[in-house]
Amino acid sequence: MLMTTGRLIALRLFNISLGRSAWANKVLRRLLVRALIGRQKRDARYMASSRFFQMSELN
Amino acid sequence: MYSALQPAKSRPEASTSILLELALDTVPRVLGLCDRNAGSVTGGCCDRNYWHYRLLDVANARFQEAGYLFALAYDTAAPQNAFCGRQRMADWARLAWRFWLGQRNRDGSLSEVYPNERSFCATSFSAAAFTETIRLLGGAAEWGRELELSRPTFQWLAKNENVEVANQMAASWLALAGYARLTGDEAIARAAQKRRARLLLSQWEDGTLAEYGGLDVGYQTITMSTMARILCLDPEDRELQVALRKAEAVIRPRIGPEGECDSRVNSRATQYIYPYALASLRSSLLPSILSGLTAGTVLRPSWLDDRYCHAMAVDYFLAYREIAACS
């Protein structure tokens, strides 16, 4: 799921309001992990794994 | 360990091959910034903060200039260039430009930082890199569809300018001139002529191409590099040749024997120097830059951040090609 302007605004509004609370942050984090990783099929999951270029890709 | 740590006497002689080595050094890094999966929604996007980390709501169009870097790596023949002639490089260049075409605003302009920004800088430089890529990879015959789709971008550039910043004006001139050359579009050719007149008229008597009202050696070399690329399109432009010579003369006293330059007196405090125009002018400053690169006193492309390393690496490729073609 890519970041959009609407999502960014919603996230920042949360960050500066309810997000001041560590408990609310934890809840949001848990919900996002469930939505973006847990419920997705393996190939559609968002995983912050950094894959860089390797010379073998030229072949 | 950088050779700056070695005593000057023991340093190896500066060689032009360092330009190619440093340009090649950045290619794997920039490929890593790019979504190389053609089947992905963001295939061709080179702003990793957008497509991979998802930190931003808009992809910075300047990252797409990586397409030109890939094209140069593909097209530069040298024994140490493992990218030369590899079809994947040409495919990734095209993929980068396809993403660029798709990310434009409705009026053809592009954004760097926020949605609907209409950045003159990003539109000028990325459009110039787009036309330069096409010149390198087959011309209008191979890229007819892309050239047709891109026309609104050049029409937007023809209507907009930023006279306070010479490097952006030069980039827009290169973009307009390049597009006119590839397509034969007369309206864009007239716009390029107007942009040429605006830039050359704005040059100060001493040769300064002003950046926000003053001389900045780093940006001066970017502007000169862009003008030298335009000279390749029209080698008979005497006025442009004179402007380039004057531009080189004004920075000569500001660059030391090992390429060092005091950024504090630059109008935009830049620390780097682009070498291509100096190579094309056969400037006596070039050996100083090469010596500084060997000594570690001149900034290298890989020392720049993700946003600017590819643009500088492009210039290093061009400088190397210029020298190699004449040797």
Cβ <8 Å between A55 and B50:
no
Give chain B positions within 8 Å (CB) of A53: 28-29, 31-32, 36
- What would the pLDDT profile of B259-298 be if each residue is shown by its tens digit? 988 888 888 888 999 999 999 999 999 999 999 999 999 9
Cβ <8 Å between A7 and B31:
no
Cβ <8 Å between A52 and B28:
yes
Q: What is the ipTM metric for this complex? A: 0.79
Cβ <8 Å between A2 and B115:
no
- Give the residue numbers spanning the domain of B186: 3-326
pLDDT at A47: 63
List per-block mean pLDDT (blocks of 10 residues) for chain B, which spans 327 residues. Answer: 41 75 97 94 96 94 98 97 97 98 97 95 98 96 97 98 96 98 98 98 96 94 98 96 97 93 88 96 95 94 95 98 85
CA distance B81 to B191: 38
- What would the pLDDT profile of B120-137 be if each residue is shown by its tens digit? 999 999 999 999 999 999
Count of domains observed in chain B? 1
Task: Answer yes or no: are the C-beta atoms of B223 and B268 closer than 8 Å.
Answer: no
CATH number reported for the structural domain that contains residue B93 in this entry? 1.50.10.10
pLDDT at B326: 72
Greatest alpha-carbon pair distance for chain A in Å reads: 51
Of the pLDDT bands very low, low, confident and very high (cuts 50, 70, 90), residue A1 is confident
pLDDT at A51: 78
Would you state the structure tokens that stand for residue B71, as one six-digit string? 């094209």
- From B231, B276, B291, select the one nearest B72 (Cα to Cα): B276
CA distance B83 to B96: 17
Residue type, B66: A
Distance from CA of A1 to the nearest CA of B (A): 8
- What would the pLDDT profile of A24-47 be if each residue is shown by its tens digit? 999 999 998 888 887 777 766 666
Task: Answer yes or no: are the C-beta atoms of B287 and B14 closer than 8 Å.
Answer: yes
pLDDT at B277: 98
Would you state the structure tokens that stand for residue B78, as one six-digit string? 């040298």
Task: Answer yes or no: are the C-beta atoms of B99 and B61 closer than 8 Å.
Answer: no
Residue written as tokens 């789709």?
Answer: B149
